[in-house]
């Protein structure tokens, strides 16, 4: 192939891939006088296709929709493209549902979630021809922890042998809750638990009189990821009234029903 023919062919090749950014080429001139040129080119970045996340901030385990639109430089859609979603960087705890081929509008969707809170860079590449053409448009996904509930204050003493524990939740999702009770503040010994419940309250019963009890709760979102423990509250159980013992009464001295001092004080003693 003559040099002029080779350059013309190369220009037509590059024109057909104007939507590609990175092009590296090497020219090898054989030791001859024929003017033949050997061309090697690598094309691997797509500047025009788009990627978006909805929502871009999610709780741990919550999926974000990854929308991808594959287009040519003039905006024309590219249907039938095989797109692969990947994480640029640490992907520990990440699950990706890969998209189907792009439709006639060049569109397709996939899903990504992580059970590990953190910041993730979500990218995509076109592998239709067996080559990796990387879409330049990557987006950041923010994964936040499942929030911890907030226990409401407890009275110093709780009447009877049962206690209803209450709490609030600041998250916007759907949650289940797990409550524990212990006689130690570090919960080294857990006496009882609620199991996973849907309410913002739980009643513990068969509590002992004069015993101090500590309570805490954690949440689990609808994607099965648990959050941290709440603040700890405590109360002393008061199941019995006090025992009152009569000790005595002071002397009436000279006060009688005949001669009575209306301001005289009588002391009645109890224990």
Do 177 and 186 touch, CB atoms closer than 8 A?
A: no
**Per-residue pLDDT reduced to its tens digit, 135-187:** 999 999 999 999 999 999 999 999 999 999 999 999 889 999 999 999 999 99
Identify the CA nearest to 23 among candidates 47, 38, 41. Answer: 41
**Per-residue pLDDT reduced to its tens digit, 49-85:** 999 999 999 999 999 999 999 999 999 999 999 999 9
| 135 Cβ contact list (under 8 Å, min separation 6) | 46, 49, 50, 51, 68, 83, 123, 124, 125, 126
31 confidence band (pLDDT: 50, 70, 90): low
**Per-residue pLDDT reduced to its tens digit, 82-135:** 999 999 999 999 999 999 999 999 999 999 999 999 999 999 999 999 999 999
What are the two backbone dihedrals, phi and then psi, of residue 10, each rounded to the nearest 5 degrees?
-65, -40
pLDDT of residue 18: 40
DSSP state string for 18-50: TTB--EEEEEE--SSSS---EEEEEE-EESS-E
* Total-model pTM: 0.73
User: Is residue 5 scored above 50 in pLDDT?
Assistant: no
State how far the Cα of 88 lies from the Cα of 68, in Å rounded to an integer: 16
| 172 Cβ contact list (under 8 Å, min separation 6) | none
**Percent of the chain with pLDDT strictly greater than 70:** 79
């Amino acid at each position: 192939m003559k040099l002029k023919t080779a350059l013309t062919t190369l220009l037509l090749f590059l024109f057909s891939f104007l939507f590609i950014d990175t092009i590296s080429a090497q020219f090898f001139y054989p030791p001859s006088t024929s003017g033949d040129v050997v061309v090697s080119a690598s094309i691997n970045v797509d500047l025009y296709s788009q990627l978006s996340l909805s929502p871009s901030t999610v709780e741990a385990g919550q999926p974000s929709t990854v929308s991808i639109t594959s287009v040519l430089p003039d905006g024309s859609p590219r249907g039938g493209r095989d797109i692969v979603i990947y994480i640029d960087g640490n992907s520990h705890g990440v699950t990706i549902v890969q998209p189907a081929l792009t439709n006639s509008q060049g569109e397709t969707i996939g899903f990504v979630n992580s059970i590990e809170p953190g910041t993730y860079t979500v990218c995509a590449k076109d592998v239709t021809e067996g080559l990796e053409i990387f879409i330049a448009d990557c987006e950041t996904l923010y994964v936040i922890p499942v929030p911890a509930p907030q226990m409401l204050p407890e009275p110093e003493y709780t009447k009877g042998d049962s206690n209803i524990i209450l709490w609030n939740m600041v998250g916007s999702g759907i949650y289940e809750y797990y409550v524990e009770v212990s006689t130690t503040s570090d919960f080294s010994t857990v006496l009882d638990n609620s199991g996973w419940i849907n309410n913002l309250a739980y009643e513990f019963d068969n509590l002992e009189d004069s015993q101090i009890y500590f309570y805490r709760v954690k949440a689990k979102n609808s994607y099965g990821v648990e959050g941290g423990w709440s603040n700890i509250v405590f109360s002393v159980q008061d199941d019995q009234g006090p025992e009152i013992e009569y000790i005595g009464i002071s002397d009436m001295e000279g006060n009688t029903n005949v001669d009575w001092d209306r301001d005289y004080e009588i002391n009645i003693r109890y224990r």
